[in-house]
Amino acid sequence: MPKITFQEAKEFLDDIDNEDNVAIIHHDDGDGFCSGILYYDWCKQKGAKVEEFTYVLNKSKIKDFGLEKFNKIILTDITSEVVAEELNIISNKQVLYLDHHPEKGVFPKNILTFITDDGKYIPSSRTAGELTGLKPFLALIGTITDAGDLYQENQDYINSHLDKLNISLDDFKKNISSVVSNTINYLDKDPNKTFKLLEELKSLEDVASLRVYADKIEDEIQEFVERYEKNKEKLGDVNFYYFKPKLSVKGAVTGIISHKNVDEVYIFASPKENGKQISLSARNAFKEINAIDLLKKGTLGLKDSSAGGHVRAAGGMILAEDLDRFKQNIREFLENK
């Protein structure tokens, strides 16, 4: 697995031309869509044929994308813990893997990897924006939807872009990044439409056109935000909030609540559509508790469970029947910490 530098990643992109057929594979969240679009637009600008594929964790498989016709493939914002071994199926192609999650898994030897997890938190959209120079407003949207503003290493980058756009961080979150996030959540069953809508944005002002989708889930978001104080459960120092949304609002609810008081530690839980699994999100901005460790301890010994992510933001999955055991594991971990 050749690890490459920023400049070498830039050279890979510069070498793309009108003889290339490129596949862009990206995660299905704000950071994934925005970074994917920047690489997609770059390839179009270089005259290459290009198609995009949305990778949904715990659902998508590289082998199902039908990538035979592509000679170059770019993957962005997909944790190596999930996708590394899958890349064997495309190891005969020119592949550039870009991500910011902690490196895990075994990559095929010839996959070019540029991972920004060197003790800092640099969202994939920021990297894509810096590599391509395209749509700085979109790179900023992806960075902030991925909570990049909570990390000191992104402050200069964010502030300089906000200054150029003549907008405050609070206004950007309220009127721009939250609108994009809500649109992605509302259209979660149709990622192709989501990609097309976001790719067509040419300026910050165009984001207003997405409100026709974003506003449709705003009422449900606020409903569960308002219920939080009454329905949360304390697991030691951790605020545990289980709720059952009808629409895909968990990410928005998680972000709003955890940003209100960054000195708290949170675990948010919601059932999956099949009712057999529960999706978990842990948030921890500045406390000593590691969000990844927290979920890994909670899922310890639980069948068909998973946990991963970042020190301050992590996600996981458990079977619905194991919810009480998960909570007890968290209590015991905190008592012994």
Residue 46, burial from CB neighbour count under 10 angstroms (0-12, 13-18, 19+):
middle
The pLDDT value given to residue 150: 83
Regarding whether 274 and 238 lie in a shared domain, the answer is yes
- Give me the mean pLDDT over the 210-229 stretch: 94
> Looking at the structure, do residues 15 and 75 belong to the same domain, yes or no?
yes
> What is the pLDDT, as a whole number, of residue 287?
65
**pTM given for the model:** 0.84
pLDDT value of residue 274: 80
Tokens of 286: 């500045």
pLDDT score for 309: 80
Q: In this predicted model, what pLDDT tens digit does every residue of 65-75 receive, in sequence order?
A: 999 999 999 99
Instruction: Report if residue 227 sits inside a domain.
Output: no
110-158: pLDDT as tens digits: 999 999 988 789 999 999 999 999 999 999 999 999 989 988 999 999 9
Residue at which a domain ends, from 161, 177, 212: 212
Our count of domains for the chain comes to 2
Instruction: Tell me what pLDDT residue 92 has.
Output: 94
Q: Which of 75, 20, 25, 76 is nearest to 52 (CA)?
A: 25
Beta-carbon contacts of 200 under 8 Å, excluding residues fewer than 6 positions away, are 206
- Tens digit of each residue's pLDDT (9 = 90 or more) over 153-203: 999 999 999 999 999 999 999 999 999 999 999 999 999 999 999 999 999
Q: Same structural domain for residues 83 and 184?
A: yes
- Answer yes or no: is 87 within a domain: yes
Q: Do both 155 and 192 map to the same domain?
A: yes
* Judgement on whether residues 48 and 197 belong to the same structural domain of the protein: yes
Residue 223 lies in a domain: no
Q: Same structural domain for residues 69 and 148?
A: yes
User: What pLDDT is attached to residue 49?
Assistant: 98
The pLDDT of residue 70 is 98
238 shares a domain with 204: no
127: CATH: 3.90.1640.30
Same domain, 251 and 203: no
Of all residues in the chain, what percent carry a pLDDT higher than 70? Answer: 99
| Phi, psi of 52, deg, nearest 5 | -115, 150
In this predicted structure, the answer to whether residue 54 has a pLDDT above a threshold of 70 is: yes
Phi, psi of 313 (to 5 degrees): -145, 120
Report phi then psi at 99, rounded to 5: -160, 170
Instruction: Identify the domain containing residue 264 by its residue range.
Output: 232-336
Taking phi first (over 0 means left), then psi (-120 to 50 degrees means alpha), and beta for anything else, what does residue 147 get?
left
Q: Assign residue 283 the CATH number of its domain.
A: 3.10.310.40
Domain shared by 207 and 266, yes or no: no
**256 and 187 assigned to the same domain:** no
For the chain, what is the mean pLDDT? 93
User: How far is 290 from 283, CA to CA, in rounded Å?
Assistant: 9
In a domain, 27, yes or no: yes
- Assigned domain for 225 exists: no
> Which of 212, 242, 277 is a domain's end point?
212
Per-residue burial over 163-195, b = 16 or more CB atoms within 10 Å of its CB, e = otherwise: eebebeeeebbeebbbbbbbbbbbbeeebeebb
| Predicted pLDDT of residue 312 | 83
225 token code pair: 């935000």
The answer to whether residue 163 sits within a structural domain is: yes
Question: Helices 178-186 and 250-260 meet at what angle, rounded to 10?
Answer: 150
Q: Evaluate whether residue 219 is within a structural domain.
A: no
The answer to whether residue 305 sits within a structural domain is yes
Shared domain for 208 and 314, answered yes or no, is: no
Question: For 234-274, what is each residue's pLDDT tens digit?
Answer: 999 999 999 999 888 988 899 889 988 888 999 999 998 78
Decide if pLDDT at 286 tops 80: no
Co-location of 45 and 124 in the same domain = yes
